[in-house]
Structure 1
Amino acid sequence: MATLFTKIVHGEVPCYKVAENSQFLAFLDISPNARGHTLCIPKKEVDKIFDLEEEIYRELMLFARKVAIGLEKAVSCERVGMAVVGLEVPHVHVHLIPLNSMKDMDFSNNYKMSEEEFAKLADEISREVVL
């Protein structure tokens, strides 16, 4: 059965897209730790990050780096943190989280945003990402 992220890739479930190329997709997390919390995923469904082919792993990290650079330009923060947990959805995903304090990395925190705020922020970030 396809994961939630595979359904997003196929357009079956909507997302707030910030960047995309032929292999990867970046979109806003709908339960963000902080404003701008973004997920980067491979379009190919793979459960665990270290099960990715080595070349795909490298390319995912390069894609995430480009998204993080754009994210830091669009969202006021001290830095962008990165985490790979992999327990929530069995599909590789890299969390990019704008950080102003360590509490921004606490996955029990949720930053509340309206649909309009999500859409506006996704557009702002996507304009800053250079792939």
Structure 2
Amino acid sequence: MSASAATEHSAVAPAPEAVFQALGDSTRLRCLALIVTHGELCVCELVHALELSQPKISRHLKLLREAGLVADRRERIWVHYRLADTLAPWTRTTLDAVVAEHADSPPFADDARRLAHMPDRPDGRCSN
């Protein structure tokens, strides 16, 4: 696998139980909300936005990947996350609805504001 290769955990859509279990944790839900909104984010962008440690964010992203909700892409030393291509339409609809309903509420609005003001994001991307 090349340094910039993308990975999908599974070729099948995640089971409803896995989706709702992942959504039941606020850190994972906050990460997903930002990923839904921005399409793809680097781990360091999520660390900055959520104001949590890199190991904690990475642990939650690993659980999201194992649940089949996100896929990752390595670019040199950085790992970028996006929604998995295998999501069932109902899953994407659910995530979009949650994000739309809560985008202006804490902590989601606070996370979005911090990400928007993250220094050193040329062209809106992480450069750390």
Normalization by structure 1: what TM-score? 0.31
Normalization by structure 2: what TM-score? 0.31
Bigger helix share = 2
Bigger strand share = 1
